[in-house]
Amino acid sequence: IYHLPSSKSPVITVMSVVGALRSCRFFQEMLPSVPSVLCRNYSMDVPAPLLRTQGYVDGRWVSAASVFPVLDPATGLELARVSDCGPEEAKQAVDAAFRAFHTWKQTTAKERSVLLRKWFDLLTLHREHLARLITFECGKPLQESLGEVTYSASFLEWFSEEARRIYGDIVPSSANNRKVLLLKQPVGVASIITPWNFPSAMITRKVGAALAAGCTVVVKPAEDTPLSALALAELADQAGIPPGVVNVVPCSRDRTPSVGQVLCSDPLVAKISFTGSTATGKVLLKMAADTVKRVSMELGGHAPFIVFNSADVGKAVGGAMASKFRNSGQTCVCSNRFLVQSGIYDRFVDQLSRAMDSELRLGHGAEPDTTLGPLINSRAAEKVVHQISDAVSQGATVLKGGKRLDGSFMQPTLLAGVTTDMLCTKEETFGPLVPIIRFETEEEALAIANGTDVGLAGYFYSQDVGQIWRVAEALEVGMVGVNEGLLSTPEAAFGGIKQSGLGREGSMYGVHEYLEVKYMCFGGLKP
């Protein structure tokens, strides 16, 4: 329902018809299972300029022939209908990015830096509105969404600074009549394909680096969370980033394969950056192979969280809470397998159980006391339920939670007696499930932690300095948290090994993913 109060900008108010119906005795009797959260009125309160529902191509807002709904995962209610772009719009975006590239790559590093900084300033200015978009389309608690906007903006700030630090090299030549120079040049048009769990930060982490390097981009956001991407495009436009440099083509799940085909196979696209599942990443790699595109991918994880006997148990519990339950367990670096050494096993489990009771409160992300929101959709909840059922059938014990609630809400769940034969230790969960494995030796823990074909992040707690160095070097992951449950920062290189991806994002290395090295041999310098 669109609501236009006097003296205020237009806002969208999400109103629950079910809530009104439940006031009638008849519907109270007929609809007892309707989630209580559906009976509340939640206002997204986002100004109209930031609530865009069309695609953004060549500096213009463009409509498609059809639209698709964006839903609030907490209530199932429709938030907006967004243009369902197809291959035609995707091709238009690629062409626009290619035309713009020839001008954008000629801008100075300082010019690009200034524009990225303006974009950063606008994200900071509109932090609260952008956070509400994230909460309503993604489901995370508002405090987490505010944190994501700050994190998202930090990449624009970082890459605005890195734009002026893209250096080439002068290499000593073996011949005295030559100079050997290595130049850094932008690769060209980059297709940016992002996930729903960080609908703002995953875009700026990629696009900030690309623009700093001199590349232009076409962004395809996840179908569950296009509103944040379109709001970012609006702010890019306000920042003065030229037409065609940033393009956004939202599309439904049904149209994703055809749009992805264009973005990954069009010969005008030079680079693909993707964050998502390993299975999808492999499909995109095959598409990219025909035209031998540059590719960087951040794929699935299955992070171990190891607690050794020497650990500070209280700090380990705090790290576990931060690592596991952020965004209801729906992050690629969430801890999935908890390995606890037998000497402190009981103490850790008891303290973690108490922390879950005291710190986790389920609800709509707009509620001020909510710390745990819904999963993104019913399929995600069904996957967690399946992993719990599998574990219990093989002897695991549910110490806390274990049930699916209304809609896509899941109780935070603590499992003991877990073994490596159980599904929850073999595949990524993406939900609020804590399976705890007891181990005896350091060698045993490392064998379990490394016994997977992915390697994104890993965490461990220990106060033994020798053990810290041994384990940090032995863990087969791209990122290690030592006595720390939160890793992400724009200054550090983010990425994995094995089947968790290719390349790095953030840090100085994030820009390198969008650069080619050109060797120039300057001869004839002496008679």
Residues marked active site are found at: 298, 332
Pick from 170, 173, 177: nearest CA to 524? 177
DSSP bridge pairs for 60: 57
Neighbours of 63 (CB within 10 A): 13
Tracing tokens 């600074």 back to the chain, one arrives at 161
Q: Measure the CA–CA gap between 287 and 266, rounded to whole angstroms.
A: 10
Q: How far apart are CA 363 and CA 333, in angstroms?
A: 23
In contact, 430 and 380? CB cutoff 8 Å: yes
Burial of 217 (0-12, 13-18, 19+ CB in 10 A): buried
E runs forming strands in 146-230: 169-171, 179-186, 189-193, 216-220
Q: What is the DSSP string of 5-32?
A: -TTS--EEEE--HHHHHTTSHHHHHH-T
Q: Which long-range contacts (CB under 8 A, 24 or more apart) does 417-424 make?
A: 418/391, 419/394, 419/395, 420/448, 420/451, 421/394, 422/387, 422/390, 422/391, 422/394, 422/396, 423/386, 423/387, 423/390, 423/391, 424/336, 424/337, 424/387, 424/388, 424/390, 424/391
